[in-house]
Structure 1
Amino acid sequence: MSEARDILIVLHSESSTPGRIGHMLQDKGYRLDIRRHCLGDPLPQTLAHHAGAVIFGGPMSANDPDAWIAREIDWIGVPLKEEKPFLGVCLGAQMLSKHLGGTVGPHADGLVEIGYYPLRPTVEGSDHGPWPPHVYHWHREGLTLPKDAVRLATGDTFENQAFRYRAQAYGIQFHPEVTRLTMHRWGVTGAHRFVLPNAQNSAAHLEGNLLHDAPVKDWLSRFLDRWLGSSSLPVPR
């Protein structure tokens, strides 16, 4: 039986993309199976034919009452039960936390992370590095560390920035997938959020991208290899 090359990609709007994560996975020889469950695409009942799954971020909250959000949080049990690599990015990480019994909510002082903020690995996360010293964020809520999960990285505003559950399920609160082009687009569509407490303005985002993006890119490539448990696959011809 040939090795699975498809990665399930779960997005949360009609215009969203998997960004740099998608590009890197394709460069490593994987195919992207893109689903927009919030728009009616079904999620597979098994990942037997997938090498892993990624749930990305979105403007909604993991606490919203929409039926599809509850279904998506519940679906995370599929990769966990089958011990397939799972990665939650921002909203996806919050969904993973909720699936495991954690909680999601705003900062006690109403602070947000929108822009670049420092990231510090924990002792347990040191072997997943070297981590980038600053990463890009766009979120108003944080997550609690679920039972039996391991914190891998922390920050000043929200304590839980990256965590692992068992061997191959990861949640990251930041956005390593964001390219400069996406940053420009978010800066237009989400400009009204720059006034929120602790948010950075658009100019700071772009300046931060020039200063901090290269280490993020280097870390992400190594992290994806580790997450998938193998070196890059040969690109099919």
Structure 2
Amino acid sequence: MRINVLQHTPNEGPGAIQSWAHDHGHDMYIYHPYQFGNLPTAKETALLVILGGPMSPNDDDEWIGRERVLIKHLLAAHKPIFGACYGAQQIAKTCGAAIKKAPHKEVGWAPVYLKSPAISHLPQQLTALHWHEEMFDIPAGAQLLFSSDLVQNQGFLLNGNVIGLQFHFEPEADNVREIAINDNHYPADHNDLHQTATEIIKHGVPAENKGVMYQLLDFITNNQN
């Protein structure tokens, strides 16, 4: 299976998603549209992964609009899509949902709570990495999948094979360090989780997060027909 990944900043890579791809024998292609402008076609995409980034779906960059065209084609073809943070917002906006300022800026580790039984054997509560101040409305026809204490709309499941998460399950320990040291000013500015970059690194990645990331990817790729 060809997995096409859209990466939007150097310090937010696929993390455990890449491990999942390797463990399953899939081929991964990583695109950097913010830098090079290149995007895959829907035809050559078996699974699309849309990662986070500092931009907003409400920005008017030409490549951001082209990403949504790609998402629209994949939705029409009923191909699986996973989006994290900005990526989830891009999916939601493609589906006509609003992207707006969240009631709280969340940067750091905080619990999220499962809100739907659609995916079996997920824990009722997990600790995820948050790195955002915008949020999505839940797209029409989608289920609310996760909420946090500060922001209700933290995840959605659409059509059985599309998942968008406002937070991050994909980073492993090296990835968290990379995110925090390069974007260390972001947690310090009006952060409602009140965590510093140093504290975020010291927290460590919960052991179950990688397994949950695998579960989510298994679910959407097994429900694509």
Normalised to the residue count of structure 2, the TM-score between the two structures is 0.90
Q: Which residue of 2 aligns with 1:220?
A: 213
CA contact (8 A) 1:153 1:161 kept: yes
Which of these residues, 80, 102, 107, is aligned with residue 107 of structure 1? 102
Q: Which residue of 2 aligns with 1:198?
A: 192
Displacement of 1:128: 5.8
Residue identity (%): 29
Deviations 1:118-177 (A, max 9, x none): 111113446361255211111111111111111111111111111011121110111111
Q: Which residue of 2 aligns with 1:62?
A: 57
Q: Which residue of 2 aligns with 1:38?
A: 34
Structure 1, unmatched stretches of 5+, are 231-237
- 3-state SS in 2 of match to 1:107: strand
1:153 corresponds to 2:146: yes
CA contact (8 A) 1:132 1:216 kept: no
1:175 corresponds to 2:168: yes
Q: Which residue of 1 aligns with 2:78?
A: 83
Deviations 1:77-125 (A, max 9, x none): 12101111111111000001111111112123xx211111111111344
Q: Which amino acid aligns with 1:28?
A: H
Structure 2, unmatched stretches of 5+, are none
Q: Which residue of 2 aligns with 1:164?
A: 157
Which of these residues, 104, 109, 112, is aligned with residue 116 of structure 1? 109
Provide closer, same or farther for how the CA distance between residues 15 and 198 of structure 1 changes in structure 2, counting only shifts above 3 A. closer
1:25 corresponds to 2:21: yes
- 3-state SS in 2 of match to 1:140: strand
* Cα distance in structure 2, aligned partners of 1:197 and 1:14: 22
The worse-fitting range, judged by mean Cα deviation, of 123-132 and 9-18 is 123-132
Provide closer, same or farther for how the CA distance between residues 53 and 128 of structure 1 changes in structure 2, counting only shifts above 3 A. farther
- Name the structure where helix makes up a greater proportion of residues: 1
Aligned length: 221
Q: CA RMSD in A?
A: 1.9
Which of these residues, 124, 129, 134, is aligned with residue 127 of structure 2? 134
Provide closer, same or farther for how the CA distance between residues 43 and 7 of structure 1 changes in structure 2, counting only shifts above 3 A. same
CA contact (8 A) 1:132 1:219 kept: no
Displacement of 1:221: 1.6
- Name the structure where strand makes up a greater proportion of residues: 2
The worse-fitting range, judged by mean Cα deviation, of 137-146 and 175-184 is 175-184
Which of these residues, 51, 68, 92, is aligned with residue 87 of structure 2? 92
Q: Which amino acid aligns with 1:144?
A: D
* Cα distance in structure 2, aligned partners of 1:12 and 1:227: 22
